[in-house]
A and B are shown apart, each in its own frame.
Chain A
Amino acid sequence: SQQGEEDPQALSIQEGENATMNCSYKTSINNLQWYRQNSGRGLVHLILIRSNEREKHSGRLRVTLDTSKKSSSLLITASRAADTASYFCATDGSNSGYALNFGKGTSLLVTP
Chain B
Amino acid sequence: KAGVTQTPRYLIKTRGQQVTLSCSPISGHRSVSWYQQTPGQGLQFLFEYFSETQRNKGNFPGRFSGRQFSNSRSEMNVSTLELGDSALYLCASNSAGERSGYTFGSGTRLTVV
Contacts and interface: CB of A to CB of B under 8 A. Distances in A.
Interface of A: 1-2, 30-31, 33, 35, 40-45, 47-48, 88, 90, 92, 96-105
B90 interface: yes
Interface of B: 4, 31, 33, 35, 42-45, 48, 50, 55-56, 58-59, 88, 90, 92, 97, 99-107, 109
Counting chain A CB atoms within 10 Å of each CB, the highest count among B42, B88, B101, B103 belongs to B101
Contacts of B44: 1, 102
Contacts of B31: 98
B58 A99 contact: yes
Given A1-B59, A40-B88, A100 B99 contact: no
Given A42-B106, A97-B56, 18 more contacts: A1-B44, A33-B102, A40-B107, A42-B90, A42-B105, A45-B101, A45-B103, A45-B104, A47-B101, A48-B100, A48-B101, A88-B43, A96-B56, A98-B55, A98-B97, A102-B42, A102-B43, A102-B44
